[in-house]
Chains A and B, each alone.
Chain A
Amino acid sequence: MKASTRLLTAAAFAIALPTAASAQTEINIVAFAPGFAWADMFGPSGTDKTDKLRAFEEATGITVNIEFADEETARQKVLLDLVNQTGTYDLVMLGSDGAVQTFSYAGYLEPLDDLLSTATEYFDPEAVYPQFLEANRVDGKLWALPYYSFGAGVIYRKDIFERYGIAEFPETTEALAGALDTIKAGLEKDGITDVYPLTMRGAPGEEPSLDLSGFVYAYAGYPAWFEGGATTPEEIRANDARPIFTGEFREGFEAFVEWSREYGPPGIATHTWVDMMNLYGAGQAVVLMPSAINGFAALGGTENTDVAEHTAFAPSPAGPSGLPVQSFWTFSVGVSAFSDNKEAAYKTLAFLTGEQAMQGFAETIGWPYSTFPAITRGEVLGEKWPAEMLDQIEASYEQADPHYFPYIPELNAFMERIGTAASEAISGSKTVDEALAELQAWAEERMERAGYYE
């Protein structure tokens, strides 16, 4: 074969190959937690394709490409992709504690309401706990579908509670504080210095804000961030509602800080959910709250038999307002507004968050949380967890107010600032009043700058 003929043949192959490949629509996703998220689709390494996924690809003509990164990197990839409007990722991972709100208001996400009817064979919105959809609804529109999600609750060591004479888990924050005092005194009396009554998260940044906002909600009885409990830009503008971080926000904030300082481990001001999980799993914490999911994560990997055998679940205690401490979150996925294949992207999203996918999550991970009642009540979770616990977890969804913090475009920045203020107060580098005064000044400036009070 002549050189020119070989060259021509190679060129023809080069042109033909991508053409053949493009017969399939490609959908790109960015997410975190390989081997945890969609392990039934992408395998334990996150790089495989299981038969389940291949069957979907064959049935729909959609090729699904997933890119896993660590959580922070994945968040930044999503941010940069959306801001630059590249559409590299058709489906983007979002949290219901900032990203859904910020990106939907900025116009970076595709509203899903009109698409819901196009893939009901995969995702039936009527079959989901409504609170998980509500968490992804901003300005009346649905912007993302929930995957792994959770409500508030408490994971605790029943054996240690009983050892110090506490038969039932307290139902109010006041009673719980009393119980934690008893446990702290008991541990000190017994000379146990490496077990702490409580573990929560107090690292700087957005980490503590989800749970801390739950305390504020339980103490004030409403999302006490802005005057009158305004939670949307429209309400804030209409009522000229100013931030109240030095007002009614304070009581819940102070409780969170005091509990962390009084009952938490010494390093709590730098602790993330991973530290919470590790500490509980190692048997060094008696109570983990209000994001009980981190306790279930600890149970999965613990080698401590006491932890494995004596852990119990309790509903989140009610604050002085009578409302329970909240911690409600959805790991959601949305369709990029810059995707070239929005319908195919939605179909893939419906498949990845639908009942089949959540069934796969229950089978591979086995945590007692699911977005579908049919799975909570199903065989897999029913065999693994006590019915009473599943009832309580289901009840926690019903008691949840997904909008227990405001749904404003600036939510990400607020979460970041609130968490850092909490970390400062817990570490003692600022008093509660100093931290809140600074937060209040920043919030006023930020809201002014965003044009809320013109």
Chain B
Amino acid sequence: MALSWRFWFLAPMVMALATVVLFPTVYLFWMSTQHWLVTDPQRFFVGTDNFQRLLAGADFWQALRVTAAYLVLSTVIMLGLGLGMALTFARAGRGWMRAIVVMPLVIPPVVAGFTWRFLLNGEIGFLGAWLLPAIGLELNPLAEPRAALVSVVIADVWSRTPFMFLILLAALQSIPRDFYEAARMDGANPFHEFFFITLPLLKGALFVAILFRIVDAINTFELIYVMTRGGPGRATQILSIFGWRTAFQELDFGQAAALGVVLLFICLAGAMLLFRRFVQRDLEAGA
């Protein structure tokens, strides 16, 4: 009885969540089952037709490949840089140095995108038109398909590594120093300390950092839109840009919603995979 009246205190939050999370999600699922073309006033139920067309089209698989390449490349570099910086700053970093490192994080992706676009521009950019040719690299970073993908990865790494750095730095600083002192007394070298103390104790933070990174990468839009609009051609067209194109340029809301559902499942699958790899095993071991 006491539990039931307490439950009602949660009701506003449950209702708020249902409104802002559940309703749009259900609506997205509903849209994905509709023939909903702006060019056609008829709107009707088509079952899984939007999904079938989506998966049968070359565009989806191309965008998926680009997304995977973008995700893996940027995550690996970010993880390496973020961890390296966190290890350095955990020992020797000063406050103002940390502030400088974190600065790109507070710059909006649109501004970051414009900055990198101008830097890498092959006709007037400092990097694209001057520095790269000066060191013998005759390529246009934003107009050549592979170079364009690398360019957006570089811009993303510059913009988002500080987030990874902050998570890992906080986790590093929460590891008790006693562990290292005890290990040293047992003859452990820095290599042992890193692999047998630091890394295992960073697992939870790494899980959070990678999970956020996956969701962030899949949802990246402004940075790529501003830098390349998904181009040249479709070379940097990741799934979010493809979805925007499908909805707002090709005016196919049904198929764009189907893509939204697929993205939702990709994110969920990634999260579950990471959860099992990093967290569940530890929980089971602890139990």
Contacts and interface: CB of A to CB of B under 8 A. Distances in A.
Contacts of B41: 106-107
Given A269-B143, A270-B143, A409-B39, A420 B123 contact: no
A427 B38 contact: no
B122 A265 contact: yes
B39 A410 contact: yes
A266 B122 contact: yes
Given A105-B39, A410-B39, A450-B40, A427 B145 contact: yes
Nearest to B241: A204
A306 interface: no
Nearest to B124: A282
B109 to A, nearest CB: 15
Contact of B232 (A194, A270, A410): A270
A265 B123 contact: yes
A421 B41 CA distance: 28
A365 B275 CA distance: 59
A410 B233 CA distance: 21
A79 B251 contact: yes
A83 interface: yes
Q: By DSSP majority rule, is chain B's interface helix, strand, loop, or mixed? A: loop
B204 interface: no
Contacts of B142: 267, 270
A204 B144 CA distance: 13
A428 interface: yes
Contacts of B230: 204-205
A438 B145 contact: no
Interface string A393-412: 00000000000000001101
A267 B119 CA distance: 13
B121 interface: yes
B62 to A, nearest CB: 10
A134 interface: no
A288 interface: no
Interface in A271-310: 272, 278-279, 282, 284
B257 interface: no
A266 B124 CA distance: 11
Interface size of A as a range: 35 or more
B232 A269 contact: yes
Interface stretch (B72-80, B85-93, B242-250): B242-250
A429 B252 contact: no
B233 A204 contact: yes
B40 A267 contact: no
Contacts of B144: 427-428
Given A106-B41, A266-B123, A204 B140 contact: no
B232 A266 contact: no
B161 interface: no
A83 B144 CA distance: 37
A194 B140 CA distance: 13
30 contacts: A76-B248, A83-B38, A102-B251, A106-B39, A106-B40, A194-B123, A196-B123, A202-B232, A204-B231, A204-B233, A205-B245, A265-B123, A266-B140, A267-B122, A267-B142, A270-B143, A270-B232, A278-B124, A279-B123, A282-B124, A412-B249, A413-B252, A416-B250, A420-B233, A423-B232, A423-B233, A424-B234, A427-B233, A429-B232, A429-B234
Given A196-B123, A427-B233, 18 more contacts: A106-B39, A107-B41, A203-B229, A204-B232, A205-B229, A265-B122, A266-B123, A266-B143, A267-B128, A267-B140, A268-B143, A409-B39, A412-B249, A423-B231, A423-B232, A423-B233, A427-B143, A450-B40
Interface of A: 75-76, 79, 83, 102, 105-107, 194, 196, 202-206, 265-270, 272, 278-279, 282, 284, 409-410, 412-413, 416-417, 420-421, 423-430, 435, 438, 450
Interface of B: 37-41, 58, 121-124, 128-129, 140, 142-145, 148, 228-235, 237, 245, 248-253
